[in-house]
Structure 1
Amino acid sequence: MRTLCSSTLIGEFFIIGFAGLVAMKEPDLTMGTVWTVSGVAMFLCVVLCGVVTRPGGVLLGWALQIALIASGLVVPMMFILGVVFAALWWASVHYGKKIDEAKARFAAQADAA
């Protein structure tokens, strides 16, 4: 699960950075505000890569997905990208758990043999 979820989070890291560049063109937002919010979100993506398998890690990932969708209020394209990455997050968690279970079964079979 860790590999799939981390891959999704790194993709989000770049998307958030590019969204920050787009958000800088908003006349109501200062550059400091845009990069503070974007920087915190990007930092959270990197930190989540390390804690995704710990208790609460997946839940924090879902919170990030909701924030990514909500960022569509500032950059409308983020509504679409947020939904796409939320779907990728779901797939990463769902199929990652299945892969982890299969690895554990194969390891148990190898130990038994």
Structure 2
Amino acid sequence: MRSLASIVLAFESIVLALVTPVMISVADIRPAIAVPVCLGLALLAIVSAGLLRFQAGYVLGSVVQVGAVGLGFVVSVMFVLGAFFAAFWVAAIVLGRRIEVAKKAHEAHEAPSS
């Protein structure tokens, strides 16, 4: 589960960093606002990827998803991109849990026959 979630957060951090110039040039947001917001979210995504071994990493990752969708109020395309990344985030968690359960079941099945 951790590896899938960290991949989502890594790619999302790149997209969030690239939204900074879009906010400045297209949405006409002052750099003093756009830079800390976008790069702050990108940094939060990287930090949460590093913390995924703890529950706090998943909580921070979810905060990043809310923030990414929330940027849609400033740059409308972020509603779509944020929704995609939020869907990837949920899928990474759900599929990751299924993979972990399958691994444990496989290990439990293999252990008695050794």
Fold shared by both chains (TM-score > 0.5): yes
Distance 1:109 1:17 in 2: 45
Once the 2 structures are TM-superposed, how far is the Cα of residue 100 of structure 1 from its aligned partner?
1.3
TM-score, structure 2 as length reference: 0.88
Distance 2:110 2:44 in 1: 38
Once the 2 structures are TM-superposed, how far is the Cα of residue 111 of structure 1 from its aligned partner?
3.1
Partners of 2:71 and 2:79 within 8 A in 1: yes
RMSD: 1.5
Distance 2:61 2:7 in 1: 12
- The equivalent of 1:102 in structure 2 is 102
CA deviation profile, 1:48-82 (whole Å, cap 9, x unmatched)? 11212312322222221111111001111000111
Matching of residue 77 in structure 1 with residue 89 in structure 2: no
Compare relative contact order (CA 8 Å, sep 6+) and give the higher one, 1 or 2: 1
Matching of residue 55 in structure 1 with residue 55 in structure 2: yes
Once the 2 structures are TM-superposed, how far is the Cα of residue 110 of structure 1 from its aligned partner?
3.4
Alignment of 1:1-113 (within 5 A): 1-25=1-25, 26-27=27-28, 29-112=29-112, 113=114
Distance 1:105 1:21 in 2: 48
| One-letter code aligned to 2:38 | S
Once the 2 structures are TM-superposed, how far is the Cα of residue 42 of structure 1 from its aligned partner?
0.9
Once the 2 structures are TM-superposed, how far is the Cα of residue 108 of structure 1 from its aligned partner?
2.9
Aligned length: 112
TM-score, structure 1 as length reference: 0.88
Runs of 4+ in structure 1 deviating by more than 6 angstroms, as ranges, are: none
